[in-house]
Amino acid sequence: MSELGLGNFSKEHDFLVGVDSDGCAFDSMEIKHKECFIPNFIKHMGLQPISKYAREACEFTNLYSKTRGANRFPAYLLALDLLEERDEVKRRNVTLPRLQGVRDWVERETKLGTKTIGPEAEKTGDPDLQQAYAWSKAVDDAVHEMVHGVPPFPGVQDALAKMNVQADVIVCSATPNGALQKEWKEHGIDEFVKAICGQESGSKKESLSACKEFGYDTEKMLMIGDAPGDMKAAKAVGALFFPINPGHEEESWVRFNQEALDRFFAGTYAGEYEEKLIAEFETFLPEHPPWKK
C-alpha cells in the first residue's frame, strides 16, 4: 500500500510519474463539485437568493475553465469575484461575502486545506476563516458520505501497471489525503503508487519539487493531469506534462497507453510531440465565462 506523503518515499527507478486524481484518474469532478462543494457553498455563504448564478460561477471556475482542478479555496474565492461582477447579481442587491480573512490566509499559507484552516480559524477567531472552515468541513463530510463506487477511467489501471515497470509513481493532487487514500484503495489501485501527496502535502508544485530532490533528471519526470494547474506545476519544476483532455478522458488514456508512455521511457516525448499535445489541450478550456461574451 502506498504511503501518505513522501515520508517513507525512496527512489527505485530513474523515472518518476505524478498522477492527478479527480478528473484525471477518476471521473469524480462532476459529482464532487455539483453534489458536495456547490450546495454547501450556497448554504454556508448565504447565496440562496442567487443560487442559479452561484452554481454557474462555481461550475465555471472549478470544472469548465482554465482554473479547473485548482485548490478549493482560491477557486471558490474566484467564483465570488465573478459573481460580484455579474449584472444579474448586482440587480438583486445581494451582499456577497468578501472573505478577506480567507484571501489573506490563502496568500500566506501553502497547505490550503480543511486541516490547516480549522486551527487557524480557532487561533485567530477570524469569522471569515470560521465560515470557510465550516463550508470546507461540510464538503469533506459530503464527499465521504456520497462519493463511492466511482471507478477510475478505463485505461488507468493498465497505465499504472505499465508505468510501474520503469517508474516510481505518486498521486499528486489537491484533494485531501484521506479521500485520496479511500478512493485509490477502494478500487485496488493504491498498490501501484509509492506515495499519495494530497492537500496536506502542499501544492502540486511542492510535491513534485520534493520528489525532484531525490535525484530524478527533469526529462525523466512526468506529470499527468487534466487541468492547466497540473501543467503549470510540472513546468515549474522542469518536468514534462501529459494532458488528460476534459471531456475526452478515455481517448487520452488510450493515447497514453499506446504511444505517450513509450515515448517518455524512450526519451522522445519532449519537444514537438509534447508541444502538439499541449496545444490541443489548451483548446478545451476557456479563460472567460460565457456570460461575459
Residue-wise pLDDT tens digits, 255-275 = 999 999 999 999 999 999 999
Of the candidates 112, 146, 180, which is a domain's last residue?
Answer: 146
CA distances (Å), origin 251, targets 28, 154, 156, 258, 270? 17, 9, 11, 10, 21
User: Does 158 lie in the same domain as 259?
Assistant: yes
Residue 135 maps to a domain? yes
User: Does 262 lie in the same domain as 170?
Assistant: yes
User: Does 247 lie in the same domain as 177?
Assistant: yes
Nearest to 136 by CA among 76, 82, 177: 76
Answer yes or no: is pLDDT of 64 > 60. Answer: yes
Residue-wise pLDDT tens digits, 176-229 = 898 899 999 999 999 999 999 998 888 899 999 999 999 999 999 999 999 999
The CA distance from 191 to 195, in Å, is 10
Range of the domain at 245: 3-27+152-281
Residue 23 maps to a domain? yes
User: Does 160 lie in the same domain as 277?
Assistant: yes
Answer yes or no: is pLDDT of 137 > 70. Answer: yes
Element (H, E) at 242: strand 240-243
User: Does 217 lie in the same domain as 188?
Assistant: yes
Quick one: average pLDDT of 74-97? 96
3 state DSSP class of 3: strand
User: Does 99 lie in the same domain as 198?
Assistant: no
Residue 159 maps to a domain? yes
User: Does 171 lie in the same domain as 70?
Assistant: no
The CA distance from 126 to 23, in Å, is 33
* Amino acid sitting at position 232: K
For 4, residues 6+ apart whose C-beta sits below 8 A from its C-beta are 177, 181, 195, 196, 198, 200, 201
User: Does 191 lie in the same domain as 108?
Assistant: no
Residue 266 maps to a domain? yes
Of the candidates 127, 146, 165, which is a domain's last residue?
Answer: 146
Q: Please state, rounded to an integer, the average pLDDT across all residues of the chain.
A: 95
Residue 167 maps to a domain? yes
User: Does 34 lie in the same domain as 98?
Assistant: yes
Supply the pLDDT for residue 3: 59
Residue 68 maps to a domain? yes
User: Does 168 lie in the same domain as 129?
Assistant: no
Quick one: average pLDDT of 224-247? 96
Residue 177 maps to a domain? yes
For 96, residues 6+ apart whose C-beta sits below 8 A from its C-beta are 45, 47, 80, 83, 84, 89
Quick one: average pLDDT of 48-74? 96
Element (H, E) at 223: strand 221-225
Percent of the chain clearing pLDDT 90 (strictly above): 91
218: CATH: 3.40.50.1000
CB 281 within 8 A of CB 260: no
User: Does 78 lie in the same domain as 194?
Assistant: no
Geometric angle at alpha carbon 157, from 154 and 163, rounded to 5°: 125
Binned at pLDDT 50, 70 and 90, residue 2 comes out as low
Supply the pLDDT for residue 241: 98
SS3 content of the chain, % helix, strand, coil (to 5): 55, 10, 35
Residue 155 grid coordinates: 485505461
Percent of the chain clearing pLDDT 70 (strictly above): 99
Residue 12 maps to a domain? yes
User: Does 268 lie in the same domain as 173?
Assistant: yes
Of the candidates 125, 146, 167, which is a domain's last residue?
Answer: 146
- Number of compact structural domains in the chain: 2
The CA distance from 27 to 223, in Å, is 18
Residue 250 grid coordinates: 478515455
Where is average pLDDT lowest: 5-9, 72-76, 185-189, 248-252?
A: 5-9
The CA distance from 168 to 13, in Å, is 6
Residue 135 grid coordinates: 463550508
The CA distance from 93 to 90, in Å, is 5
List, as own/partner pairs, every contact residues 124-132 make where C-beta atoms lie below 8 angstroms and the sequence separation is at least 24, other chains included: 126/101, 127/101, 128/97, 128/98, 128/99, 128/100, 128/101, 128/102, 129/101, 129/102, 129/105, 131/44, 131/45, 131/97, 131/99, 132/73, 132/99, 132/101, 132/102
